[in-house]
Amino acid sequence: MVNQESLGKSLVKAAKKAPYLEREHEHQLALRWAETKDQEALHQLTTAHMRLVIAVAAKFRRYGLPISDLVQEGHVGLLEAAARFDPHREVRFSTYATWWIRASIQDYILRNWSIVRGGTSSGQKSLFFNLRRLRAQITKLDRNLNSHELYQELSNAIGVSIKDVATMDARLSGPDISLNAPVASDDDSTTERQDFLPSESPTPHDNVREMVDGERRTKWLKSALGVLNERELLIINARRLSENGATLETLGNELGISKERVRQLENRALKKLEETLITENPEIRQLI
């Protein structure tokens, strides 16, 4: 497997050696790639624009990810731009490619900046990449804003809810914290943050209640089964009370009747059980 960092560095090194393209030469390369899928034309076109990739990637250094990774992701965006570019339009390839390079790098940052995935909608992406800049601009103009007023200004500027602004601001204000990290800074502390998470296991009270209720339901069922005849009891045991319920066809062959007759007997037995359970235990209606 190719080392990702080495690949990113090799792309940077190749960009420094690549020649600049004149407008006409660039157009001819784009035509050759679009019309004949000339791989050499694609190579020249993308290599010549790796400086653009590096320039865009450098603008995202502050997010703490390796520049080589950002360059590599920008290269992916550059290839996507080449695949979609229409050379017959009066647009320079660099102008068209810039959007794809930036989008690819931004998507990579959103996926890897935090272990908690952020939103991927256009509003959430705009919020993530512009919150700090807009916040600095707004507070520079008016330092007396309280948190709610500041969030309101940011909400209006970016076009998202105040709740989204507050949530993103909290995410950007602190790093990810492992649940296995100790609560105290003392090295001897054995208490971890995950120890304070609510348990989803049943409480002792729930266990006792389930045990008592289970015993009561078992008692009710055993009593009600006494109203069934021998054949009905065999069918209910085989179909409803065994771990692997028997099929209607299997029981039909065993009893010498059709599977439809087995179904009829089963339904009749279930009806008798229901009536008996309700008659003998009126409180069971609350559980139905």
Residues 93 and 127 in one domain: no
Q: Tell me the average pLDDT across 231-255.
A: 88
Residues 15 and 99 in one domain: yes
Question: Taking the CB of residue 283, how many other CB atoms lie within 10 A of it?
Answer: 9
Q: Is the residue at 138 inside a domain?
A: yes
Asked which of 75, 94, 112 is the last residue of a domain, the reply is: 112
Residues 133 and 160 in one domain: yes
Residues 107 and 169 in one domain: no
Residues 29 and 88 in one domain: yes
Residues 51 and 95 in one domain: yes
- Summarize pLDDT for 149-188 with one digit per residue, the tens: 667 776 777 777 677 666 666 566 655 555 566 666 555 5
Please check the confidence at residue 142 and state whether its pLDDT lies above 70: no
Residues 154 and 248 in one domain: no
Q: In terms of pTM, does the model score above 0.95? A: no
Q: Tell me the average pLDDT across 241-264.
A: 89
Q: What is the pLDDT of residue 177?
A: 57
How is residue 262 written in tokens?
């087995």
How is residue 38 written in tokens?
């000339």
List all residues 6 or more positions away from 152 whose beta carbon is below 8 Å from its beta carbon: 162
| 61-75, 108-122, 200-214, 258-272: the lowest-pLDDT one | 108-122
Range of the domain at 160: 122-173
What is the CATH number for 212? Answer: 1.10.10.10
Most confident of 53-57, 148-152, 209-213: 53-57
Confidence label for 3 from pLDDT (cuts 50, 70 and 90): low
Please provide residue 243's backbone torsions phi and psi, each rounded to the nearest 5 degrees: -65, -40
Sign of the dihedral defined by the CA atoms of residues 208, 213, 219, 221, in that order: negative
Q: Please give the residue that has the higher pLDDT: either 76 or 196.
A: 76
- Alpha-carbon gap, residue 147 to 151, rounded angstroms: 6
Q: Is the residue at 178 inside a domain?
A: no
| 58-67, 72-81, 141-150, 210-219: the lowest-pLDDT one | 141-150
How is residue 15 written in tokens?
């960009």
Q: Is the residue at 267 inside a domain?
A: yes
Using DSSP's 3-state secondary structure scheme, residue 192 falls into strand
- Alpha-carbon gap, residue 214 to 220, rounded angstroms: 10
Domain count of the chain? Answer: 3
Residues 71 and 102 in one domain: yes
- Summarize pLDDT for 81-116 with one digit per residue, the tens: 999 999 888 888 989 999 999 888 888 887 776 544
| 14-23, 191-200, 237-246, 260-269: the lowest-pLDDT one | 191-200
Q: Please give the residue that has the higher pLDDT: either 220 or 180.
A: 220
What is the CATH number for 63? Answer: 1.20.120.1810
Q: Tell me the average pLDDT across 142-155.
A: 69
Residues 49 and 102 in one domain: yes
Q: Is the residue at 47 inside a domain?
A: yes
Residues 255 and 276 in one domain: yes
Q: Tell me the average pLDDT across 45-56.
A: 90
Asked which of 88, 112, 136 is the last residue of a domain, the reply is: 112
Confidence label for 4 from pLDDT (cuts 50, 70 and 90): low
Residues 162 and 262 in one domain: no
Residues 106 and 56 in one domain: yes
Q: Is the residue at 182 inside a domain?
A: no
Q: Is the residue at 195 inside a domain?
A: no
Q: What is the pLDDT of residue 258?
A: 92
Place of tokens 């960009």: 15
Q: Please give the residue that has the higher pLDDT: either 238 or 146.
A: 238
Q: What is the pLDDT of residue 147?
A: 66
Q: Is the residue at 62 inside a domain?
A: yes
Q: What average pLDDT is seen over the chain?
A: 78
Q: Is the residue at 220 inside a domain?
A: yes
Q: What is the pLDDT of residue 101?
A: 93
